[in-house]
């Protein structure tokens, strides 16, 4: 088979697996949340039904071109991020489209969808959307600092900008993980990870009780379906990235699922334990302790 | 059509150029609703109806005293989430409009606006005797008597007020209706649009919105 | 409470006095002196709190009765100051300069009874009704049942039962 076609097929397979994994994890996490609240909870396949339902709505209305494109941008952000990350270490095909400088591209791609969504939500004209977008962008600016500093620290430590090489350097035992070899960068990254997942206490963007659901307020039917697909893929892509950076990557899908599930649980546990920050509190918090840890991580890995 | 916000006016751009604005044409869409036929492939439509019935997103808009009966459905005791019923804060994403109790004329106007912003197929569930025949407010000067003159109602839940269990039974009935493919209330609304609008305009005296709020 | 009235009796023409209970008394004051009297109660006697302004429609006497419920938070006493005004072109002096919230009550009275309070802020703006074209709905000559039947499409076959009798018939049909 032509290697390019094979590569494309494997990319589609990656998307398919990650999509299903994301939807099921979403359902399971909501089920766990319900059980914690002593409810029976939704069936774990409820996210699938919701997406089918949204796609089978018969009417949809538009607010303009950007409104149409925004969900596509968002989904592109999610899928793009996923495809530039080497998913399975040591498997040539599931490296997908990662290349030697992919770390920088990944950092950029995380915010691609947010920006597209900002344009689309602004065009929908709903005040809650505008508030949600402005909150989201200010929080992104805040948590980007510890995130970037942590990533830079790792780049300095391993002397590379290639995620695959970072993963390769961590092989050979748990104590080789960056989580243990570079704890400062790990702390900064894991704190930034909380806001990147958008769960409480950093869910200022969707803020269900304040600005009903923020940016996607006006999105419905198929538009919402696309956003829901992204909501399944994007967090998993981020999880895989953090797994690669800090926890030694995965050599097969089973390992990937176990590791990402536990990293996801980190944000879920913090989420159920802490109530939501106001947006100014969240921004200030990220400019405090996590930023200092991030700076320290860079300094330590450069000079020690 | 007397309110300020629907009148023609001139606004000024940041450069100081005057821009003439006719809100009803510029800010609203004047199209009327259309009938949307179900797909002719039976198996596809059945599958879709199954999905619709398993994922009912309720609009969180409490109109009367019945709003308080919806809240227990989220609690561990009743837990409507296990039936695929969820609450959405925005009409765009909602499928079911639960009209919970009496409707004053003022509320009815908002209810109509909200209902028309929902995307089809959409369903209306009416709670309490107030929406059926006026209930204890049957001779009041500002509450309506029969909801089905203004909106197409799919399911009535009788009682004053119905308990949360009755609501669950109502949702069950609604699911049955949807699965049988009879949940076409919004098509009925589009077909008999003139009649519904005449009834609505008869009681809403200061009509200051377009005929259909997209 | 009686002693306050006795003291003020010389200054103001106070009509009926009725001690309703230990801490509530009803008094009737002329329309022209009412605002003066309430001002005096507020400034000198410590009745600092306006609880409510409401109206009663005396259709047979062709009068409106306005009731100002004012309260003394230290002694926990309340007065209901009642003012009778004509039903035709009903008009009363505004007291929004004493209590700001009075403007809201007066706006409601204007809408529901058609009693005008010249000078009260926003008194002509609609309060809760939208686009009301009939006579004010709380007036007793407004037939609310008739209006409802003409306007709101009553459902045929609606019946009424007295619950006690109905249940008796259901449960013990022989008695």
Residue B135: give its domain's CATH number: 3.40.50.12280
Q: Is residue B34 part of a domain?
A: no
To the nearest 10°, report the CA torsion of B44, B50, B52, B55: -140
Is residue B129, in this structure, part of any structural domain at all? yes
The answer to whether A53 touches B52, Cβ cutoff 8 Å, is: yes
Establish if B106 belongs to a structural domain. yes
Q: Which of B84, B86, B92 to mutate to test the interface with A (most CBs of A within 10 A)?
A: B92
* Paired tokens of C11: 């200054």
pLDDT at residue B1 is higher than 50: no
How many helices (H) and strands (E) in chain B?
8, 7
Task: Read off the pLDDT of each residue in B47-71 and give the average, rounded to a whole number.
Answer: 87
Q: Which domain holds residue B81?
A: 57-179
Interface test with B, best of C113, C148, C149 (most B CBs within 10 A): C148
- ipTM value: 0.85
Q: B177 pLDDT band (50/70/90 cuts)?
A: very high
Cβ distance of A52 and B51 shorter than 8 Å: yes
Helix axes A289-303, A183-197, angle to 10 degrees: 140
> E strand or H helix at C83, and its extent?
strand C77-86
pLDDT for residue B23 is more than 80: no
Write down the mean pLDDT value for chain B.
86
- Report how far residue A140's alpha carbon sits from residue A107's, in angstroms, rounded to the nearest whole number: 12
Contact assignment for B84 to A213 by CB distance below 8 Å? no
DSSP 8-state class, residue B65 = T
Least CB–CB distance from C148: residue in B106, B109, B140: B140
Q: Is residue B133 part of a domain?
A: yes
The pLDDT of residue B202 is 87
pTM value surpassing 0.90: no
Residue B45 lies inside a defined structural domain of this protein: no
Residues C80 and C47: beta-carbon distance below 8 Å: no
**C101: phi then psi, degrees, rounded to nearest 5:** -65, -15
For residues C151-165, give the mean pLDDT. Answer: 82
User: Is B172 or C134 the better-scoring residue by pLDDT?
Assistant: B172
C62: left (phi over 0), alpha (psi -120 to 50) or beta: left
B149 vs C: CB within 8 A = yes
Q: How far is A143 from chain B (nearest CA, A)?
A: 28
CA distance A234 to chain B (A): 21
- Tally of CB atoms within 10 A around A261: 15
- Residue C56: its H or E element: strand C49-58
**Non-local CB neighbours of A173 within 8 Å, separated by 6+ positions:** none
- Segment among B22-31, B38-47, B74-83, B201-210 with least mean pLDDT: B22-31
- B55: which chain A residues are within 8 Å (Cβ-Cβ)? 46, 49-50, 52-53
More confident residue, A304 or B80: B80
In sequence order, what are the beta bridge partners of C53? C68
CB distance C125 to C111 below 8 Å: no
Closest Cα to residue B70, out of B49, B94, B51?
A: B94
Q: How many domains does chain B have?
A: 1
Strands (E), chain B: 9-12, 18-21, 56-59, 85-88, 96-100, 123-127, 155-157
Res. B182: pLDDT tops 60: yes
Nearest residue of A to residue B57, measured between CA atoms: A50
Which chain B residue lies closest to A56 (C-alpha atoms)? B48
Place B2 in a pLDDT band, splitting at 50, 70 and 90: low
Question: How high is the pLDDT of residue A248?
Answer: 82
Q: Which long-range contacts (CB under 8 A, 24 or more apart) does A97-106 make?
A: A97/A7, A97/A11, A98/A162, A98/A163, A98/A164, A99/A162, A100/A161, A100/A162, A101/A161, A101/A162, A102/A161, A102/A162, A102/A163, A102/A164, A103/A151, A103/A155, A103/A161, A103/A162, A103/A163, A103/A166, A104/A161, A106/A81, A106/A163, A106/A241
Contact A29, A268 (CB under 8 A): yes
Q: Regarding the domain with residue range C2-171, which homologous superfamily does it belong to in the CATH classification?
A: NADH:ubiquinone oxidoreductase Nqo5 subunit (3.30.460.80)
- Residue among C142, C151, C158 whose CB faces B203 most closely: C151
**Sheet bearing C77-86, strands edge to edge:** C14-21, C24-29, C77-86, C63-72, C49-58
* CA closest to B142 among chain C residues: C148
Residues A261 and A114 sit within 8 Å (Cβ to Cβ)? no
Rounded to the nearest integer, the mean pLDDT of chain C is 86
**Largest Cα–Cα separation, chain C:** 69
| Residue pLDDT, tens place only, B95-148 | 899 988 888 888 898 999 899 888 888 999 998 888 888 888 888 888 888 888
Q: Return the partners of chain B (3 or more C-beta pairs < 8 Å).
A: A, C
Which residues of chain A, if any, have pLDDT below 50?
Answer: none
What is the C-alpha separation between A205 and A198, in angstroms, rounded? 7
Q: Are A and C close enough to touch, i.e. 3+ CB pairs under 8 angstroms?
A: no
Q: Which of B135, B130, B139, B97 is nearest to B116 (CA)?
A: B97
Domain ranges of chain A: 3-303
């Amino acid at each position: 088979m032509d290697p390019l076609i094979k590569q494309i097929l494997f990319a589609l397979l990656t998307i398919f697996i990650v999509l299903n994994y994301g939807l099921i994890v979403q359902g399971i996490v909501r089920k766990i949340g319900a059980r914690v609240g002593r409810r029976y909870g939704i069936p774990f396949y409820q996210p699938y039904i919701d997406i089918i339902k949204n796609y089978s709505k018969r009417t949809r209305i538009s607010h303009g071109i950007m409104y149409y494109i925004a969900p596509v941008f968002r989904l592109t952000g999610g899928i793009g991020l996923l495809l530039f990350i080497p998913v399975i270490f040591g498997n040539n095909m599931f490296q997908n489209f990662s290349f030697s400088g992919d770390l920088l591209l990944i950092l950029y791609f995380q915010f691609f969808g947010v920006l597209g969504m900002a344009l689309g939500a602004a065009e929908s004209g709903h005040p809650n959307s505008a508030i949600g977008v402005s909150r989201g962008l200010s929080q992104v600016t805040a948590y980007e600092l510890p995130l970037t500093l942590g990533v830079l620290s790792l780049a300095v430590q391993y002397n590379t900008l290639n995620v695959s090489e970072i993963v390769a350097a961590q092989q050979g035992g748990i104590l080789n993980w960056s989580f243990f070899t570079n704890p400062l960068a790990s702390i900064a990254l894991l704190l930034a990870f909380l806001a990147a997942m958008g769960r409480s206490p950093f869910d200022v963007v969707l803020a269900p009780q304040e600005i009903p659901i923020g940016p996607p307020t006006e999105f419905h039917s198929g538009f919402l379906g696309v956003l829901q697909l992204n909501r399944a893929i994007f967090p998993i892509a981020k999880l895989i990235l953090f797994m690669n950076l800090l926890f030694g990557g995965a050599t097969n899908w089973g390992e990937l699922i176990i590791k990402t599930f536990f990293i996801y649980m980190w944000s879920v546990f913090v989420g159920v334990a802490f109530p939501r920050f106001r947006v100014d509190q969240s921004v200030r918090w990220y400019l405090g302790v996590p930023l200092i840890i991030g700076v320290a991580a860079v300094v330590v890995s450069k000079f020690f | 059509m007397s309110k300020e916000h629907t009148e023609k006016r001139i606004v000024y751009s940041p450069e100081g150029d005057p821009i003439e604005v006719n809100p009803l044409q510029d800010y609203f869409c004047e199209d009327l609703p259309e009938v949307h036929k179900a797909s002719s492939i039976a198996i596809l439509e059945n599958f879709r109806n199954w999905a619709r019935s398993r994922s009912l997103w309720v609009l969180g808009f409490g109109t009367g005293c019945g709003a308080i009966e919806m809240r227990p459905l989220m609690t561990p005791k009743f837990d409507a989430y296990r039936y695929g019923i969820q609450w959405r804060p925005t009409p765009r994403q909602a499928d079911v409009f639960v009209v919970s109790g009496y409707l004053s004329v003022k509320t009815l106007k908002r209810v109509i606006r909200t209902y028309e912003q929902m995307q089809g197929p959409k369903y209306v569930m009416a709670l309490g005797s107030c929406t059926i025949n006026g209930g204890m407010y049957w001779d009041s000067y500002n509450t309506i008597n029969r909801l089905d003159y203004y909106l197409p109602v799919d399911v009535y839940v009788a009682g004053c007020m119905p308990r949360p269990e009755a609501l669950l039974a109502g949702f069950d009935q609604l699911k049955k209706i949807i699965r049988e493919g009879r949940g076409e209330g919004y098509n009925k609304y589009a077909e008999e649009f003139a009649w519904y609008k005449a009834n609505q305009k008869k009681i809403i005296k200061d009509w200051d919105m377009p005929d259909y709020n997209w | 409470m009686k002693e306050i009235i006795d003291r003020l009796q010389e200054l103001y023409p106070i009509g009926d006095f009725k001690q309703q209970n230990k801490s509530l008394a009803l008094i009737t004051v002329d329309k022209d002196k009412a605002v003066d009297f309430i001002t005096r109660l507020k400034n000198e006697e410590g009745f600092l709190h306006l609880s409510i302004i409401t109206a009663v429609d005396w259709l047979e006497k062709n009068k409106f009765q306005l009731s100002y419920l004012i309260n003394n938070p230290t002694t926990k006493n309340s007065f209901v100051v009642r003012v009778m005004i004509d039903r035709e072109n009903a008009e009363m002096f505004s007291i929004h300069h004493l209590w700001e919230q009075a403007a809201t009550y007066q706006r409601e009275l204007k809408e529901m009874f058609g009693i005008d309070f010249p000078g009260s802020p926003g008194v002509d703006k609609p309060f809760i009704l939208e686009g009301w074209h009939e006579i004010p709905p709380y007036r007793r000559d407004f037939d609310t049942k008739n209006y409802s039947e003409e306007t709101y499409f009553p459902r045929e076959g609606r019946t009424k039962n007295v619950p006690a009798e109905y249940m008796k018939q259901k449960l013990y049909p022989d008695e």
